Amino acid sequence: MLRSLRPLWSSIASSARTEIHLWQVLRRFPGTIIARPSHWRFDSLDAIDIADEVSVGPFTEIVVFARSPRSRVPGSLVLRRGSAVSAGCNVRAAGGAIEIGEDSGIGPGTVLVAANHSVAPGLAYLRATWDETRTGVIIGQNCWIGSLCTLLPGVTVGDNAVVAAGSVVTRPIPPGELWGGVPARQLKRLV
């Protein structure tokens, strides 16, 4: 009987942890609007910096680990004033920093990944250390990242840039450009 209750207790404990983390974020950053349900996991609240007028949509998952056994690179999350993370986004700030600039928006369902697994013959990929040569995602000011995009480690999006919906960004985007596609490439200059 007790063994059959273990998954239920595990689920309750996970939900309680998520609520506690959400409460801690809202208490530390009262100018932030976070829609429920959203899932927050972190090892240190000090690895998170959120400015006023930031909004986070429902069904987001935000993971911030300052320390990871898979990488020596610290993880952190910075959300600048007026930035918005839409519904259903997945933000993984472990093994690198993720920063979203002032007045920048992240479209629904977008994934931001600060680190990735090393890939080498003979390695079990999921247990391998993370690649420390390409880490972090930095999005400048006044950027728009469309729905269902993926921004991979090492990517910087310059100020006033736009990423078209459904794009996979694997390299830096200069300021004032529209990029799109898989992999994303320049479509036109905006400024």
pLDDT in tens, 98-131: 999 999 999 999 999 999 988 878 888 888 888 9
* CA nearest to 184, candidates 173, 175, 176: 173
In what side-by-side order are the strands of the sheet with 137-139?
48-50, 76-79, 97-100, 137-139, 155-157
The domain containing residue 135 runs over which residues?
Answer: 2-189
For residues 38 and 36, give the distance between their C-alpha atoms in angstroms, rounded to a whole number.
Answer: 5
Task: Indicate the pLDDT class of residue 2, thresholds 50, 70 and 90.
Answer: low
For residues 93 and 137, give the distance between their C-alpha atoms in angstroms, rounded to a whole number.
Answer: 9
| 117 part of the active site | yes
Report the domain count for the chain. Answer: 1
Q: What is the reported pLDDT for 123?
A: 80
Q: Which of 39, 41, 81, 117 is catalytic?
A: 117
Q: Is residue 73 pLDDT above 80, yes or no?
A: yes
What average pLDDT does the chain have? 93
pLDDT in tens, 151-161: 999 999 999 99
Contacts of 11 (CB under 8 A, 6+ apart): none
Q: What is the reported pLDDT for 32?
A: 94
- CATH code: domain of residue 126: 2.160.10.10
